[in-house]
Amino acid sequence: MTTDNAAPDVVDSEGMNYLVSLPRRVVTVYVPIGAFLIVLLFPFYWMVITTLKPDHELLSRDGNPFWVMNPTLLHIRKLLFETSYPDWLWNTILISVVATFMSLVASVLAAYSIERLRFRGSRYVGMSIFLAYLVPPSILFIPLAAIINQLGLFDTRLALILTYPTFLIPFCTWLLMGYFKSIPFELEECALIDGASRLQILVKIILPLAVPGLISAGIFAFTLSWNEFIYALTFISSSEVKTVPVAVVTELVEGDVYHWGSLMAGALLGSLPVAVLYSFFVEYYVSGLTGAVKE
Amino acid sequence: MATKQSALARALDNRHLLGALFLLPAAALLLVFLTYPLGLGTWLGFTDTKIGRPGEWIGLENFVFLWGDDVTRLALFNTIFYTTVASVIKFGLGLWLALLLNKHLPFKAFFRAIVLLPFIVPTALSAIAFWWIYDSQFSIISWALVRLGVIHTYIDFLGEPWHARFSTIAANIWRGVPFVAITLLAGLQTISPSYYEAASLDGASDWQQFRYVTLPLLTPIIAVVMTFSVLFTFTDFQLIYVLTRGGPLNATHLMATLSFQRAIPGGALGEGAAIATAMVPFLIAAIMVSYFGLQRRAWQQGGADA
Same domain, yes or no: B231 and B83:
yes
Task: Note whether residue B51 is domain-resident.
Answer: no
Would you state the pLDDT for residue B147?
87
Same domain, yes or no: B41 and B74:
no
Of A22, A49, A72, which residue is a domain's last?
A72
Give this prediction's pTM.
0.88
Tell me if B276 and A138 make a contact (CB, 8 A cut-off): yes
Task: Note whether residue A290 is domain-resident.
Answer: yes
B276-287 average pLDDT score: 92
Residues 246-285 of A with CB under 8 A from B: 246, 248-249, 260, 263-264, 266-268, 270-271, 274-275, 278-279, 282, 285
Lowest mean pLDDT, pick from A16-20, A215-219, B58-62, B107-111 = A16-20
Same domain, yes or no: A287 and A155:
yes
CA B60 to chain centre: 29
Tell me if A282 and B109 make a contact (CB, 8 A cut-off): yes
Give me Rg for the CA atoms of chain B: 25
- Position A127 pLDDT exceeds 50: yes
Task: Note whether residue B1 is domain-resident.
Answer: yes
Same domain, yes or no: B4 and B105:
no
Same domain, yes or no: A164 and A290:
yes
Instruction: Compute the distance between CA of residue A78 and CA of residue A65 in angstroms, rounded to an integer.
Output: 23
Instruction: Compute the distance between CA of residue B187 and CA of residue B90 in angstroms, rounded to an integer.
Output: 16
Same domain, yes or no: A123 and A58:
no
CB atoms within 10 A of CB A120: 11
- Position B221 pLDDT exceeds 80: yes
- Position A283 pLDDT exceeds 90: no
Same domain, yes or no: A47 and A88:
no
Q: What is the DSSP letter of A19?
A: G
Same domain, yes or no: B32 and B97:
no
Same domain, yes or no: A129 and A177:
yes
- The residue among B120, B123, B230, B240 with the most chain A CBs within 10 A of its CB, best to mutate, is B120
Of A18, A50, A72, which residue is a domain's last?
A72
pLDDT tens-place string over residues A224-245 = 999 999 999 999 999 899 999 9
Angle of helix B255-263 relative to helix B269-300, nearest 10 degrees, comes to 160
Lowest mean pLDDT, pick from A31-35, A98-102, A258-262, B82-86 = A258-262
Residues in chain B: 306
Task: Note whether residue A78 is domain-resident.
Answer: no
CB atoms within 10 A of CB A152: 10
- Position B305 pLDDT exceeds 60: no
A12-35 average pLDDT score: 74
A8-26 average pLDDT score: 61
- On chain B, the residues whose CB falls within 8 A of the CB of A174 are none
Q: Does B197 touch chain A (CB under 8 A)?
A: yes
- On chain A, the residues whose CB falls within 8 A of the CB of B2 are 194-195
What phi and psi values does residue B50 have, to the nearest 5 degrees?
A: -115, 165
Tell me if B269 and A145 make a contact (CB, 8 A cut-off): yes
Q: Does A38 touch chain B (CB under 8 A)?
A: no
Chain B residue nearest residue A275, CA to CA: B121
Tell me if A15 and B193 make a contact (CB, 8 A cut-off): yes
Would you state the pLDDT for residue A18?
64
Same domain, yes or no: B39 and B78:
no
Lowest mean pLDDT, pick from B26-35, B141-150, B172-181 = B141-150
Same domain, yes or no: B137 and B271:
yes
- On chain A, the residues whose CB falls within 8 A of the CB of B23 are 109-110, 113-114, 125
Instruction: Establish, for the pair of chains A and B, how many residue pairs have beta carbons separated by less than 8 Å.
Output: 296
Would you state the pLDDT for residue B105?
80
Q: Which pLDDT band holds residue A257 (cuts at 50, 70, 90)?
A: low
Task: Note whether residue A20 is domain-resident.
Answer: yes
Task: Note whether residue B26 is domain-resident.
Answer: yes
Same domain, yes or no: A99 and A242:
yes
CATH of the domain at B74: 1.10.3720.10
Task: Note whether residue A77 is domain-resident.
Answer: no
Instruction: Compute the distance between CA of residue B231 and CA of residue B282 in angstroms, rounded to an integer.
Output: 9
Q: Residue A23 is part of which domain span?
A: 2-72
Lowest mean pLDDT, pick from B124-138, B157-171, B289-303 = B289-303
Tell me if A11 and B242 make a contact (CB, 8 A cut-off): no
CB atoms within 10 A of CB B159: 14
Same domain, yes or no: B139 and B279:
yes
Task: Note whether residue A262 is domain-resident.
Answer: yes
Same domain, yes or no: A57 and A98:
no
Task: Note whether residue B306 is domain-resident.
Answer: no
Same domain, yes or no: B98 and B221:
yes
Total of domains in chain B: 2
Same domain, yes or no: B17 and B118:
no
Q: Which pLDDT band holds residue B205 (cuts at 50, 70, 90)?
A: confident
Would you state the pLDDT for residue A287?
82
Tell me if B138 and A58 make a contact (CB, 8 A cut-off): yes
CA distance B164 to chain A (A): 18
Average pLDDT score over chain B: 87
Q: Does A93 touch chain B (CB under 8 A)?
A: no
- The residue among B100, B121, B213, B245 with the most chain A CBs within 10 A of its CB, best to mutate, is B121
Same domain, yes or no: B163 and B223:
yes
- Position A293 pLDDT exceeds 70: no
Q: Does B126 touch chain A (CB under 8 A)?
A: yes
Which range scores top for mean pLDDT: A194-198, B33-37, B150-154, B188-192? B33-37
Same domain, yes or no: B28 and B162:
no
- Position A38 pLDDT exceeds 80: yes
Q: Which pLDDT band holds residue B5 (cuts at 50, 70, 90)?
A: low
Q: Which pLDDT band holds residue A17 (cuts at 50, 70, 90)?
A: low
Would you state the pLDDT for residue B138?
84
Task: Note whether residue B50 is domain-resident.
Answer: no
- Position B75 pLDDT exceeds 50: yes
Would you state the pLDDT for residue B1?
45
Would you state the pLDDT for residue A47?
93
Tell me if B129 and A169 make a contact (CB, 8 A cut-off): no
CA distance A284 to chain B (A): 11
Total of domains in chain A: 2
**A136, A264, A293: residue with CB nearest B231:** A136
Nearest to B276 by CA among B288, B260, B289, B253: B260
Would you state the pLDDT for residue A5?
41
B215-226 average pLDDT score: 88
- Position A46 pLDDT exceeds 90: yes
Q: What percent of chain A has pLDDT over 70?
A: 90
Same domain, yes or no: A161 and A269:
yes
Task: Note whether residue A268 is domain-resident.
Answer: yes
Per the rule left: phi > 0, alpha: psi between -120 and 50, beta: everything else, B246 is left
Q: Residue B259 is part of which domain span?
A: 58-300
Q: Which pLDDT band holds residue A9 (cuts at 50, 70, 90)?
A: very low
Q: What sign for the dihedral angle of Cα B44, B45, B47, B53? A: positive
- Position A164 pLDDT exceeds 80: yes
CATH of the domain at A273: 1.10.3720.10
Lowest mean pLDDT, pick from A111-120, B2-11, B49-58, B275-284 = B2-11
Same domain, yes or no: A253 and A210:
yes
Interface predicted TM-score of the whole assembly (ipTM), two decimals: 0.88
Same domain, yes or no: A68 and A169:
no
Q: Does B217 touch chain A (CB under 8 A)?
A: no
Task: Note whether residue B52 is domain-resident.
Answer: no
pLDDT tens-place string over residues A71-123 = 888 888 888 898 889 999 999 999 999 999 999 999 999 999 998 888 878 88
Q: Which pLDDT band holds residue B295 (cuts at 50, 70, 90)?
A: low
Residues in chain A: 295
Q: Can you list the alpha helix ranges (DSSP code H) found in chain B?
A: 7-12, 15-30, 36-45, 61-68, 70-101, 108-115, 117-120, 123-133, 140-147, 161-188, 193-201, 206-209, 215-234, 238-243, 255-263, 269-300
Same domain, yes or no: B62 and B175:
yes
- Position A13 pLDDT exceeds 90: no
Of A37, A72, A107, which residue is a domain's last?
A72
Q: Is residue A263 a contact partner of residue B128, using CB atoms and an 8 Å limit?
A: yes
- The residue among B21, B22, B195 with the most chain A CBs within 10 A of its CB, best to mutate, is B22
AA identity, residue A5:
N
- On chain B, the residues whose CB falls within 8 A of the CB of A163 are 33
Task: Note whether residue A280 is domain-resident.
Answer: yes
- Position A170 pLDDT exceeds 60: yes
CB atoms within 10 A of CB A210: 21
